[in-house]
Amino acid sequence: MNTLLKECRHNPVLWLLAFVPVVFAAAKLKPEAHTLLFVLSVLAVVPLAALLSHATESVASRTGDAVGGLLNATLGNLTELVIALTALRAGQYMLVKASIAGAMVTNTLFMLGASFLLGGLKHHLQEYNRVSARVQAGLLFLATIALLVPSAVSQADSAVDAAFTQKLSVGLAVLLIVAYGLGMLFSLKTHRELFTSAKDGEVGETPWPIGLALGTLACVTVLVALVSEIFVESVQKAAEAFGMTQAFVGFIVVALVGGAAEMASAFSGARKNRLDLSVGIALGSASQIALFVAPVLVLLSYVMGPSPMDLQFWPGAVVMMLIATLTASLVTNSGRSAWFVGVLLLTVYLIFAMTLYLLPPRAQ
Amino acid sequence: MNTLLKECRHNPVLWLLAFVPVVFAAAKLKPEAHTLLFVLSVLAVVPLAALLSHATESVASRTGDAVGGLLNATLGNLTELVIALTALRAGQYMLVKASIAGAMVTNTLFMLGASFLLGGLKHHLQEYNRVSARVQAGLLFLATIALLVPSAVSQADSAVDAAFTQKLSVGLAVLLIVAYGLGMLFSLKTHRELFTSAKDGEVGETPWPIGLALGTLACVTVLVALVSEIFVESVQKAAEAFGMTQAFVGFIVVALVGGAAEMASAFSGARKNRLDLSVGIALGSASQIALFVAPVLVLLSYVMGPSPMDLQFWPGAVVMMLIATLTASLVTNSGRSAWFVGVLLLTVYLIFAMTLYLLPPRAQ
Amino acid sequence: MNTLLKECRHNPVLWLLAFVPVVFAAAKLKPEAHTLLFVLSVLAVVPLAALLSHATESVASRTGDAVGGLLNATLGNLTELVIALTALRAGQYMLVKASIAGAMVTNTLFMLGASFLLGGLKHHLQEYNRVSARVQAGLLFLATIALLVPSAVSQADSAVDAAFTQKLSVGLAVLLIVAYGLGMLFSLKTHRELFTSAKDGEVGETPWPIGLALGTLACVTVLVALVSEIFVESVQKAAEAFGMTQAFVGFIVVALVGGAAEMASAFSGARKNRLDLSVGIALGSASQIALFVAPVLVLLSYVMGPSPMDLQFWPGAVVMMLIATLTASLVTNSGRSAWFVGVLLLTVYLIFAMTLYLLPPRAQ
């Protein structure tokens, strides 16, 4: 408890934890106040995500480098995974897919762009490890291709049916998880020296004792799951009330909420001129969503969902994922950054957000 | 007058100024001779564009670096802007869009490619400032994405209507102008040292006195506007007579005519082994069209046009702009050039020109 | 004969030559055993391709550098050309196009990826001449654009008819052959010093005497043509028997069979840490298919085929070619490789192969 209080003093976002009991109370007392529940659940998820992220890092730092890296890589997007699983169980596949696509686009464009901008406003020119950035961008590019193939084929070919898309999606999910595992083997084991500079940046905060960390991990995951349930139930009605399309909510709001904790780390890294850390978090998180979270959701949909989920996305989402990945590849190729590079990335993000916001509701 | 005559001796293209009175006389005497008027107006625009370009540079060089850079950046494509405004007022939105897309493609592929080829035939290997080229290519990439989003969304989504495309286009226009302004702040102010080598290349010709320059700027702009009117009226009939589609005329002919003056500077820079100058003109001009001219035309269509213009392009034009930008990004990544790189760019341009030339007329 | 026996001892794949008489006998005795004939013809083509490749290199090494380079460049994909010509004469344009697209994709993704993986498993980090790789990737990119334009335009534009696609395809074929010729001029003549490291790698095997080489070249070409005829006749029925779509056979099986000999050289180069050789073979072969074999087939279809062939591909194939080229461009940009880069390329290849395998038969 003492540690928690000390954390709160360090990290003001944790005061938002007060909204966790509030959202549960509100859900009991006013189950039809969708807009209120939506806002409260968003406010409650942000500090939970921050706790989850810190607990994961603490466990990771206590278990040695290889296991720790593995843990960080698999649990780093636990918030996104839990929210998506809740939507999956509710059969809201449209929301699941929008949040996968949105997390990829938000991490590559918004998180990376804002890091470059915030860092660039303080430091004239910033350098980072381009080898590591290239491997991450390569993984991301691969994942994007895998995710767009089912959509492209069924777009191009009217004779293609649901059974085909289904089989293809399962095959792709397995391929992506294998590629992700090999990528971890590469960056954590066989070629770890190429990724060093990104490593030592991460020892920013003091880790928690292992017991507290594990306990927090378990409790907070349950809390996130419960809050997500309220969030998923209220999101559709609330979106209508705000005049937002469901695509906008899944793509932009869920992605920003789920990634809030990582964004805080990425931005503070950029301000401290440790851009390796920021680029690593942004691209790493995006490729983790694409190569681990998305395929796991496809496979789990056979066990947990009302019906199997495929990887066929709305064509506009495919275009946005592809452009986001290409932009990130082109931008991180040089290993140098200035504020304007951030502006370029953020502008592309704004273009996408505006398009989704203006899109007529039926047109999702 | 004396200065003008001296200019003419230096720059033989100015003898074409004789066609300016000829085209006005012909328009009065033979208003139905569309093919003749088309040819005469093309011949008259070329020297006017050259004068306009020299006058802009002269004003810029007299007003100090920051204002001068700003002037150069906003008036550098004045010819294209005036021609497009004339077409806009006549409600020929198809021609306006074709000339925007065509100017982008012609500048990135033809102007850059011919510079690389002409320079490469004289110099074995040429180097240029790749940082500056990358920023320009980045801006161009961003602009292309913004321009293709409305087309991609309404292509993918049948529920999308004109009102959506309209709102989206205005939003994108504002975003692009802001990004353009920030880009100038970056290259002229905060990070100008990255762009130096491209700067000192530009002091080629002796600038005119400020009075002459301002006077020329005003007079020639009016003349270009008047000639453009004849051009826009005659182009459709003339295109039919030559067996050219309107897409070909807008994309290729207008772009080559409007950019003739800049091409002359870019090619002479390449021959003198100052490739920085050529790359700067080609990519700078292309991104200026995309980030400044196109959005200004969208916004002005509310004031000057018969109805608002959106940014929805013919899908083929979107593909061509995207490929042109990607090609330019990949090619300028290395900062080195040889003649064959020019051949590659020119071949892509020829492929596009041939496709547009062969396209059946109804299929634009 | 003696030399041939010595070769067989060196190169165990040549023992497969025994299948050449077997396939002819089987075709006479059991002309309806399509599956058997398919398997036998595949087994017979592999050693013939190896012989053809060695004979070409021997002739090339005896005729001096310039002519030799030219020979290597034009005859390097003789097997693919002969198979495609046989299919062309039989009017199987679908198979011809699938094998062109498949050879490009297989060479860029599978051959390059497997080289990187095999080399990377033995050597920690490998370096190669990135200038040469970039020129090859540039040529490939150009060719892909040329090949996709007819498909993109007729996809985007319903008013486009067969006559347009036909004329455009012939124009593109001529442009591609010219670009290919200029590319050879560049790499063999004007800028050969940029490509040196890839050159001296090639003197691996001892060349045959010129008489034997020329004789082998002539005889084996005839044999490949005869075996191809059996292959092309049996492939459709056999594909059905194996549950493979024709797209899968053309794209994957024909490409792997036709490229077997080059793959052997590329892989052995990678194991010997001469990655320049591997990258040169993989990208060179892919761009040769796109810039020389494909246009030659279009032009020859006017002479040899039942009707003219165009360059309009199935949209899925266009997407795959474009992604393969982009991936190769991004990957070879750095001039360094480790095993995981190979995994990335191979995964993209597997994604494509799986998609084509699962595609319902009518949907080609």
pLDDT digits (tens, 9 = 90+) for C161-177: 778 888 889 999 999 99
- What's the whole-number mean pLDDT along residues A105-132? 89
- What's the whole-number mean pLDDT along residues A185-191? 82
Closest chain C residue to A192 measured between Cα atoms? C124
Distance CA A88, CA B105 (A): 45
Confidence at residue A296, expressed as pLDDT on a 0 to 100 scale: 92
Confidence at residue A363, expressed as pLDDT on a 0 to 100 scale: 42
Residue C64 has pLDDT above 50, yes or no: yes
* SS3 (DSSP) at B41: helix
Mutate which of B153, B164, B326, B332 to test chain A, going by most A C-beta atoms within 10 A?
A: B153
Query: A: neighbours with 3+ CB pairs under 8 Å?
Result: B, C
Confidence at residue A211, expressed as pLDDT on a 0 to 100 scale: 85
Confidence at residue B317, expressed as pLDDT on a 0 to 100 scale: 85
Residue A364 has pLDDT above 60, yes or no: no
Confidence at residue B65, expressed as pLDDT on a 0 to 100 scale: 60
Size of interface A-B (CB pairs under 8 A): 81
Please give the mean pLDDT across all residues of chain A. Answer: 83
Confidence at residue B299, expressed as pLDDT on a 0 to 100 scale: 93
Across B66-75, C62-71, C303-312, which has the greatest mean pLDDT? C303-312
Distance CA C77, CA A272 (A): 55
In this prediction, what percent of chain B has a pLDDT beyond 70? 89
Q: Which of C341, C348, C362 is closest, CB to CB, to A159? A: C362
- Residues belonging to chain B with any Cβ–Cβ distance to chain A shorter than 8 Å: 134-135, 138-139, 141-142, 145-146, 149-150, 152-153, 156-157, 159-161, 164, 167-168, 171-172, 175, 178-179, 182-183, 186, 190-191, 194, 329, 333
Residue B128 has pLDDT above 90, yes or no: no
Q: Give per-residue pLDDT as tens, A232-269.
A: 888 878 888 888 877 788 888 888 888 877 888 888 88
Residue A59 has pLDDT above 50, yes or no: yes
Contact list, C338 vs chain A (CB under 8 Å): 186, 190-191, 194
Confidence at residue A4, expressed as pLDDT on a 0 to 100 scale: 66
pLDDT band at A131 (very low <50, low <70, confident <90, very high): confident
Residue C35 has pLDDT above 80, yes or no: yes
Pick the residue with more confidence: C3 or C340?
Answer: C340
Residue C363 has pLDDT above 50, yes or no: no
Q: Read off the tokens for A178.
A: 């294998």
Confidence at residue B206, expressed as pLDDT on a 0 to 100 scale: 72
Which residues have C-beta within 8 Å of that of residue C241, sequence separation ≥ 6? Answer: C34, C35
Distance CA A99, CA A343 (A): 24
Contact list, B167 vs chain A (CB under 8 Å): 358
Determine which helix (DSSP H) or strand (DSSP E) holds C153, and give its type and residue range: helix C130-156
- Residue contact C338–A186, C-beta within 8 A: yes
Determine which helix (DSSP H) or strand (DSSP E) holds A21, and give its type and residue range: helix A19-29
Confidence at residue A201, expressed as pLDDT on a 0 to 100 scale: 43
Confidence at residue B24, expressed as pLDDT on a 0 to 100 scale: 92
Least Cα distance to B169 among B42, B60, B281, B296 occurs for B296
Residue C101 has pLDDT above 60, yes or no: yes
In angstroms, the separation between the Cα of residue B175 and the nearest Cα of chain A is 7
Say if residues C210 and C202 touch (Cβ distance below 8 Å): no
Distance CA B125, CA B116 (A): 10
In angstroms, the separation between the Cα of residue A150 and the nearest Cα of chain C is 8
Q: How far apart are the first and last CA of chain C?
A: 45
Confidence at residue C201, expressed as pLDDT on a 0 to 100 scale: 43
Confidence at residue A255, expressed as pLDDT on a 0 to 100 scale: 86
- Residue contact A354–B186, C-beta within 8 A: no
Confidence at residue C314, expressed as pLDDT on a 0 to 100 scale: 80
Q: Is the dihedral of CA C202, C205, C210, C211 positive or negative?
A: negative
- What's the whole-number mean pLDDT along residues C94-123? 91
- What's the whole-number mean pLDDT along residues B238-264? 82
In angstroms, the separation between the Cα of residue A328 and the nearest Cα of chain C is 12
Residue B89 has pLDDT above 70, yes or no: yes
Confidence at residue B158, expressed as pLDDT on a 0 to 100 scale: 63
Least Cα distance to B144 among B329, B346, B6, B344 occurs for B329
Q: Give Cα separations from A33 to A87, A124, A233, A340 (angstroms).
A: 19, 48, 11, 43
Across A214-223, A242-251, B137-146, which has the greatest mean pLDDT? A214-223
In this prediction, what percent of chain A has a pLDDT beyond 90? 18
- What's the whole-number mean pLDDT along residues A62-88? 76
- What's the whole-number mean pLDDT along residues A291-307? 89
Residue A204 has pLDDT above 60, yes or no: no
Mutate which of C142, C145, C191, C323 to test chain B, going by most B C-beta atoms within 10 A?
A: C145
Confidence at residue B199, expressed as pLDDT on a 0 to 100 scale: 42
pLDDT band at C185 (very low <50, low <70, confident <90, very high): confident
Pick the residue with more confidence: A61 or C203?
Answer: A61
Residue B203 has pLDDT above 60, yes or no: no
pLDDT band at B361 (very low <50, low <70, confident <90, very high): low
In angstroms, the separation between the Cα of residue B181 and the nearest Cα of chain C is 30
Closest chain A residue to C363 measured between Cα atoms? A159
Beta carbons within 10 angstroms of residue B158's beta carbon: 8
Q: Which of B142, B153, B171 is closest, CB to CB, to A348? A: B142
Confidence at residue C199, expressed as pLDDT on a 0 to 100 scale: 42
In this prediction, what percent of chain B has a pLDDT beyond 90? 18
- What's the whole-number mean pLDDT along residues C137-142? 82
Say if residues B228 and B82 touch (Cβ distance below 8 Å): yes
pLDDT band at B346 (very low <50, low <70, confident <90, very high): very high
- Residue A308 burial (CB < 10 Å; 0-12/13-18/19+)? middle
Pairing of strands A126-127, A336-337: antiparallel
Which residues have C-beta within 8 Å of that of residue C111, sequence separation ≥ 6? Answer: C259, C262, C263, C266, C278, C281, C282, C285
pLDDT band at A112 (very low <50, low <70, confident <90, very high): very high
pLDDT band at B198 (very low <50, low <70, confident <90, very high): very low
Please give the mean pLDDT across all residues of chain C. Answer: 83
The pTM score is 0.85
